[in-house]
Amino acid sequence: MARGFKFSFHVSLVTAAIIYVYLSTVFVFIDQWVGLGSSPGMMNAAAFTFLAVMCIYSYRLAIFTDPGRVPSSFVPDIEDSERQIHEIKRKGGDLRFCQKCSHYKPPRAHHCRVCNRCVLRMDHHCMWMNNCVGHANHKIFFVFIVYAVLACIYSLVLLIGSLTVDTEDDTEDSFRTVYVISGLLLVPLSLALGFFVGWHIYLMLKNKTTIEYHEGVRAMWLAEKGGHLYSHPYDIGAYENLISVSYLFFQLFCLHYVFPRIP
């Protein structure tokens, strides 16, 4: 399901950074290192262009894909014997009910104060996308950060390689500002995005969201304090977790791109 979009400074900043990194990589780093008109130059330019296009495409999808709305008709079926987990409030023991949206919340759903609605299997609200990361767009969000970290590392390698070339003209001095800005941009981005990819792979292996991880830290502390062992209720083992997440991603792919949408 597509969603509307309003102007966001952070999204504009990310878009400008992608464009800047692409232009500086293709027309400065590759050209200075191997020459843009040479065969290695054209191959590197084509490869980096592919990464940039996929990065922008997945970023656009992550922004405009609705993360998942709770159906207005949802009511928890407490008599369903096949459902082993019914999430309840931490205090009071009642079923989870959102006072702001005035309806029950399914397991793993949370209310986003920024979007002002409940999101299915909410991971977090990403200000860099001006959207939540939830059930319906988590896959494309993960694909985006993978493409982004690959593009940043690739660009950083090309930047370092172009610095090893000795030039007799003054082109290196004229591009000094480009190199400085690119270095200050690419190094922290590569580290941050690399950590982010590793973090989400860890969450997939544990079948957790970011919210559930932080809630689990407190739950583990309280369990240990009471002499009990805490286990995440959705963790069924690293392999099974990965298979279930991969199957979920496949289902979302089919719903978005293979089967026609039913109104």
Closest CA to 186 of 58, 32, 20, 26: 20
Determine which helix (DSSP H) or strand (DSSP E) holds 117, and give its type and residue range: strand 117-119
* Cβ atoms of 206 and 235 closer than 8 Å: yes
- State yes or no: is 115 an active-site residue: no
Helix, strand, coil % (nearest 5) of the chain?
Answer: 55, 10, 35
Closest CA to 111 of 207, 211, 204, 208: 211
Sign of CA dihedral 99, 102, 104, 105: negative
**103 three-class SS:** strand
Closest CA to 207 of 249, 235, 230, 232: 235
**65 three-class SS:** strand
The residue from 55, 115, 126, 132 that is catalytic is 126
Q: Could you list the active site residues?
A: 126
